[in-house]
Amino acid sequence: MHPEREANLRNWEARVAIHVGSRDYDVDALASGARRLSDVVAFDVPALGDLTGLDAVHLQCHIGTDTISLARLGARVTGLDFSPSALGAARELAARAGIAATFVESELYDACAALGVSRFDLVYTGVGALCWLPDIRRWARVVAGLLRPGGRLYLRDGHPMMWAFDVDMVLSHPYFESGGAVRLECDVTYTDDDGARLAEPVTYEYNHGLGEVVQALLDAGLALTRLVELDSCDWQGFESMVKGDDGRWRLPDRPERMALMYVLEARKQG
């Protein structure tokens, strides 16, 4: 594994215990509520629809809260992640929730070898996933390889324009993938964690321009069916952002100035 990816793995391993105990993930409520969904998947439900009978894979699934939520929409679910500790927590959560889910440890780029090709009706990639991947074209080929003909990709993530700004809204990071990795050092994670500190604070993140993402999918043989940019975000990406009554974070003044997230759907042709 590349040293940058090794650093990221150490960082994500260090986050697991904090996230499992976090009020933001609230795994106890998810495990005990037979109809409960994660906040992420609850937002996506209108677009995802009824998944009954579909084979779905959740890439970069972390501790499995979104994966289990997809199962509650009717899918047969598989979660894939590179963190063994996260997968252990995901398996435990699935057992507590009474969900039949499969969790596989693998690097994202090895997913086709780990899971098999043309196996899934839905590839789901959740919030905050693509920034950990150095090569968006390889990712798109993995998505295409996993999908059956006619299968669908559903992606909702932070907008690359937002990732190009730092927390003080200074345009300081690359917009395009060619800008390379951004080294960050932060000893806290993104959850409400009562001040817990990460033992492995260094990460490397990569931006991918919106055009780069779209073109990578087109080149991999997928047809774009939906692309929507959002002026709201799941988290407080900038210090100045304010939380609305709907639980979404926005710029306090003229939120139409910047897209903060986007939703993309595409289908494998054939």
Q: What is the pLDDT of residues 83-141, one digit of tens each?
A: 999 999 999 999 999 999 999 999 999 999 999 999 999 999 989 999 999 999 999 99
List pLDDT tens digits, range 208-250.
999 999 999 999 999 999 999 999 999 999 989 999 999 999 9
Q: Are 44 and 64 in contact (CB under 8 A)?
A: no
pLDDT tens digit sequence for 167-206: 888 999 999 999 999 999 998 898 876 778 999 999 999 9
The pLDDT, as a whole number, for residue 14 is 96
How does pLDDT run across 141-159, given as a tens digit for each residue? Answer: 999 999 999 999 999 999 9
Which CATH homologous superfamily contains domain 3-268?
Answer: Vaccinia Virus protein VP39 (3.40.50.150)
For the chain, which residues make up each domain, given as ranges? 3-268
Q: Is 135 left (phi over 0), alpha (psi -120 to 50) or beta?
A: beta
pTM of the model: 0.95
